[in-house]
Amino acid sequence: MNRKNIKIDKSKTINFNKYLDDKYGKKGTTSREEFIERAFNYYYGEILKERRKELKLTQAEVAAKIGKPRPYVSQIENGRDMRLSSLIAIAQALDLKLELTPI
């Protein structure tokens, strides 16, 4: 397909930052920070869930490796109750390497 022939109706495009501002508040506001935290929790939960499935492990098996009940692993995978210590423990159980880098 030739890109020169593509026409974009700019009246129908969305400025994503404006959308986030309108829906969750401006950067730095409590509501925006809470949204960002929930988004990251979901993202990391999905990474852990996908890796667990790649390794063909059940939630119960991961829970046993970290000494927590199975519903706890489910909560993490669903983006709830995401603490750094939990993320590290589950990542290690799934042979994942975590790196912290300055932003």
What is the per-residue pLDDT for 59?
97
Question: Average pLDDT, whole number, for the chain?
Answer: 89
In the chain the domains, ranked by start, together with CATH numbers, are 16-93 (1.10.260.40)
What is the per-residue pLDDT for 2?
55
Question: Angle at Cα 43 formed by Cα 42 and Cα 46, nearest 5°?
Answer: 85
Higher pLDDT, 7 or 27: 27
pLDDT in tens, 67-94: 999 999 999 999 887 788 888 899 999 9
Categorise residue 95: left if φ over 0, alpha if ψ from -120 to 50, beta otherwise. Answer: left
In the structure encoding, which two tokens stand for residue 55, read together? Answer: 């390794």
Mean pLDDT of 10-29: 86
